[in-house]
């Protein structure tokens, strides 16, 4: 069994051999696959099972480590997800980075491998995914919504440009993302807010950009979605 820990490139490709755990130590990274987009804040991780193609975008000053695990040896999660990294796993990632590839013929490193797997099985997912619909009209709507930082168009105008009614769009989003349109739009704002926070923007500036009536309204949304205020979330 071999583990490798090294800085991950900006663009990564499909790997049928290695599972990967990307651990963000500074800044926010965005991982994009065909199925969706995930935002990974600092001190969280992103689990990528073997066989997934993906690419990475960064926001702010970013640093992260990647732990590679040989696929097929033990049963691990089969879906991509943002996860809370336990303090013990964080220290194991750092130690593995110092050692390089772990050698299971060395008793101490073999024990490290076992503890790493134990910690991986206890990872808790964080709701930081934005699933992407594949239906052409909904896909067009998503692309228009992604450019809201430039256009600031009302949702009804975005739907008109995408050539779809709200009722039809609601049906598509529920069927393909398991979210209502309103839930999807709130999640999109949340993930965008995380990138802006990582870049150093103030809560007041972000609340205005995202269309909230006040900073307190934005903070209330953030706490409702992630259980903490923006300041405490990044401190954690």
Q: Which residues touch 144 (CB under 8 Å, ≥6 apart)?
A: 151, 153, 158, 161, 162
| Separation of alpha carbons 87 and 3, rounded Å | 19
Q: Do 112 and 159 belong to one domain?
A: no
Domain that holds residue 224: 133-235
Q: Do 143 and 121 belong to one domain?
A: no
Q: Do 92 and 164 belong to one domain?
A: no
- Per-residue pLDDT, 236: 60
CATH number at residue 22: 2.60.120.280
Q: Do 121 and 140 belong to one domain?
A: no
Q: Do 24 and 45 belong to one domain?
A: yes
DSSP H helical segments within 100-229, as ranges? 107-121, 136-146, 148-151, 155-162, 166-177, 181-198, 203-209, 215-226
Q: How confident is the model over 133-162, as a mean pLDDT? A: 85
Long-range interactions of 98-105: CB distance < 8 A, separation 24+: 100/4, 100/5, 101/2, 101/3, 101/4, 102/1, 102/2, 102/3, 104/1
82-108 pLDDT, tens digit per residue, is 999 999 999 999 899 889 889 889 999
Q: Do 105 and 43 belong to one domain?
A: yes
165 pLDDT higher than 50: yes
Percent of the chain with pLDDT over 70: 90
| Separation of alpha carbons 51 and 30, rounded Å | 19
Q: Do 154 and 112 belong to one domain?
A: no
Q: Do 32 and 85 belong to one domain?
A: yes
Residue 121 vs residue 150, higher pLDDT:
121
- Per-residue pLDDT, 71: 83
């Amino acid at each position: 069994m071999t583990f490798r820990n090294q800085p991950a490139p900006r663009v990564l490709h499909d790997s049928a051999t290695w599972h990967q755990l990307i651990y963000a130590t500074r800044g926010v990274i965005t991982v994009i696959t065909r199925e969706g987009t995930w935002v990974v804040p600092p001190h969280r991780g992103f689990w990528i099972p073997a066989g997934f193609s993906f690419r990475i975008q960064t926001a702010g000053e970013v640093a992260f480590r990647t732990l590679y695990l040989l696929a097929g040896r033990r049963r691990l999660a089969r879906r991509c997800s943002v996860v809370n990294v336990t303090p013990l796993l964080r220290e194991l990632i750092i130690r593995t980075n110092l050692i390089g590839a772990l050698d299971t013929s060395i008793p101490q490193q073999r024990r490290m491998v076992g503890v790493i797997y134990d910690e991986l099985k206890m990872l808790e997912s964080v709701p930081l995914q934005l699933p992407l619909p594949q239906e052409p009209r909904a896909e067009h709507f998503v692309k228009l919504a992604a450019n809201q930082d430039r256009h600031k168009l009302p949702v009804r105008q975005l739907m008109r440009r995408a050539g779809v009614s709200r009722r039809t769009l609601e049906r598509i989003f529920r069927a393909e993302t398991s979210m209502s349109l309103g839930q999807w739009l709130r999640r999109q704002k949340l993930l965008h807010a995380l990138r802006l926070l990582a870049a150093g923007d103030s809560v007041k500036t972000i609340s205005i950009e995202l269309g909230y009536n006040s900073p307190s309204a934005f903070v209330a949304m953030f706490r409702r979605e992630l259980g903490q205020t923006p300041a405490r979330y990044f401190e954690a």
